[in-house]
Each structure stands twice: as C-alpha cells, then as structure tokens.
C-alpha cells in the first residue's frame, strides 16, 4: 500500500530494495531532482554555515544546531 507522505514511491521502493533505511529512502524519494546529475550546485565548502544548516534541516539531520560548518558538511555528505 503506497504511503501518501512519499512523493516518489517507485524511487522509495528501489532504495529500500538496495538496503537503505526507511528514513533515508523517504528523504531521498521526497527530494526534488534526487539522483539527477548536473554538477551545477556549488560545493558545500562554498556554502555559508546558515545555508548548510538549512539544508541539514531540510533533510532531517539531528544535532545540527550544535554542529560547526565542517561537521555540517560531513553530516550532509554521509547522511
């Protein structure tokens, strides 16, 4: 049965089948343009700490309020 909070159920199921957690699969499936290549986004090192914090908030990274810029970058890349 499809979950109404999942924007791309097919992508969600594919990620679950690959072994991703429910939380991570949902986060990726609900991110616009996830998985599309383009290389147009600036590297995280070029972002401000506030921009990194907002991105961490958007993807649901816990503990972000106590992280410095380097920690935010690490969390975003490894979440």
C-beta separation of 28 from 20 below 8 A:
yes
Does residue 79 share a domain with residue 48? yes
Q: What values do phi and psi take at 41, rounded to 5?
A: -80, 145
Q: Show pLDDT as tens, one digit a residue, over the chain (79 residues).
A: 567 778 888 888 888 898 888 888 888 888 776 556 666 667 889 999 999 999 999 888 999 999 999 999 999 888 7
| C-alpha span between 19 and 22 (Å, rounded) | 9
Query: Do 47 and 76 belong together in one domain?
Result: yes
75 shares a domain with 50:
yes
Pair (48, 69) in one structural domain: yes
Closest CA to 15 of 35, 45, 43: 35
**Number of domains observed in the structure of the chain:** 2
Q: Tens of pLDDT along 42-64?
A: 788 999 999 999 999 988 899 99
Predicted model pTM: 0.52
25: domain range? 1-34
């Amino acid at each position: 049965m499809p979950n109404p909070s999942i924007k791309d159920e097919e992508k969600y199921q594919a990620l679950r089948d690959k072994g991703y957690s429910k939380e991570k699969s949902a986060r990726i499936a609900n991110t616009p343009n996830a998985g599309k290549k383009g290389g147009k986004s600036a590297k995280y090192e070029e972002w401000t700490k506030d921009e990194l914090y907002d991105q961490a908030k958007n993807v649901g990274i816990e503990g972000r309020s106590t992280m410095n810029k380097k920690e935010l970058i690490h969390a975003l890349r490894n979440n």
